[in-house]
Amino acid sequence: MSQEITLTVNGAVHTVSVEPRRLLVHVLREDLGLTGTHIGCDTSSCGACTVQVDGVAMRSCALPAATVVGRRITTIEGLAEDGVLHKVQQAWLDHDVPQCGYCQSGMIMAVAALL
């Protein structure tokens, strides 16, 4: 049975219809088109799906979307402000950190939350 929920993602309000156990990572990628949040291991081990919920790093592949209603969700797409990269994103570029790049968005989100 689907239910309509309202999520605040990167400062924008979205209403989506979800099954009660549908994971946030799938809502972000499939419903909202925010594909910077990656699905790596699908077991909450790798961190590629990390987003911030009220400024705290959380693994979106283990988080039912309905549990974050009323909270502020930030993805890698929303980390920069007014076209200026977040200091962690800029440091990533300045120091040539990326390798394959698949899990880097989750690492950036975790580091930004830590700082």
The backbone torsions φ and ψ at residue 23, rounded to the nearest 5 degrees and listed phi first, read -80, 145
This prediction's pTM: 0.92
CA–CA separation, 36 and 32 (whole Å): 11
SS3 63: coil
Query: In this structure, what CATH number is given to the domain that contains residue 32?
Result: 3.10.20.30
Q: What is the pLDDT of residues 27-51, one digit of tens each?
A: 999 999 999 999 998 788 899 999 9
Residues spanned by the domain of 86? 3-114
Query: What is the tally of structural domains in the chain?
Result: 1
Q: CB–CB of 9/34 below 8 Å?
A: yes
- The per-residue pLDDT for 109 is 96
Q: Mean pLDDT of residues grouped by 10 in the chain (115 residues)?
A: 96 96 97 96 89 98 97 97 95 87 90 94
**How far, rounded to the nearest angstrom, does the alpha carbon of residue 8 sit from its chain's CA centroid?**
12
**How far, rounded to the nearest angstrom, does the alpha carbon of residue 81 sit from its chain's CA centroid?**
16
DSSP letter at 10?
Answer: T
Q: What angle in degrees, to the nearest 10, is found between the helix axes of 104-114 and 87-94?
A: 130
CA–CA separation, 54 and 51 (whole Å): 10
